[in-house]
Amino acid sequence: GVNGEFVPVYLNINTNRPADITGEIKNMVSPDKDLNVSFSGSLITGQQLFRELSVILVVAFLLLYFILAAQFESLTQPLIVLLEIPIDIAGALLLVFLWGGSINIITMIGLIVMSGVIINDSILKIDTINNLRADGLGLKEAIYTGGSRRLKPIIMVAMASIFSTAPILFSQGMGSELQRPMALALIGGMSLGTVVSLFFIPLAYWYIYRSSEKRMEN
């Protein structure tokens, strides 16, 4: 206010786009040079948590890469696994938007949980293919055999995760509005991630190692 006077204004706004609201308020106040506006409360806390979760997600990806690189003894194979995560996140966000939701803290938590669950399928599949190749199988035969061995477990994990989470979408009880974005992220990511684990991961593995297999045959 004028002469440094502080005038608190309390607003209770139910919106999925808090940045738009704060932007409109700033535009309303900006013409008056004697006024300055700052925001606090649950809105700012939520934005801070969102940024912190984003940083945590990036750090987790880096740590996961180094752990997988040590496990697979390869710098390339962890990239095959980690490339699945952006695809799965895109599928999760698509379902969230189609359902009319938005990206918030609960959605981010759902994405993190989904990534941790779905990535296990790709890790186990690549590990199975590596073991089969170490036993003397060719590249294509190892991919086919590893895919058939991991088919049922991957589908069972996906079905269990999706069907156990689906009732949350139709729940009308207390807290259902908070739980629904997380359920949407899990279902969308698991649905697309299962397809990616079954088809994209073996294809990417073959594409990377096909040239080395040809050299060995020659």
What is residue 141's predicted lDDT score, i.e. its pLDDT? 93
DSSP-derived 3-state class of residue 69 = helix
69 and 137, same domain (yes or no): yes
46 belongs to a structural domain: no
Give the lowest-confidence range in 64-68, 90-94, 97-101, 133-137: 97-101
Residue 80 has a CB neighbour count (10 Å cut-off) of: 23
pTM of the model: 0.72
Give residue 44's identity as a one-letter amino acid code: I
48 belongs to a structural domain: no
81 belongs to a structural domain: yes
Higher pLDDT among residues 50 and 161, named by residue = 161
Give the lowest-confidence range in 56-65, 131-140, 145-154: 56-65
35 and 80, same domain (yes or no): no
Tally of structural domains, the chain = 2
C-alpha span between 164 and 61 (Å, rounded): 27
Give residue 108's identity as a one-letter amino acid code: M
What is residue 127's predicted lDDT score, i.e. its pLDDT? 92
115 and 201, same domain (yes or no): yes
171 and 103, same domain (yes or no): yes
What is residue 201's predicted lDDT score, i.e. its pLDDT? 92
- Total residues found in the chain within this entry: 218
DSSP state of 166: G
Range of the domain at 150: 53-217
What is residue 3's predicted lDDT score, i.e. its pLDDT? 58
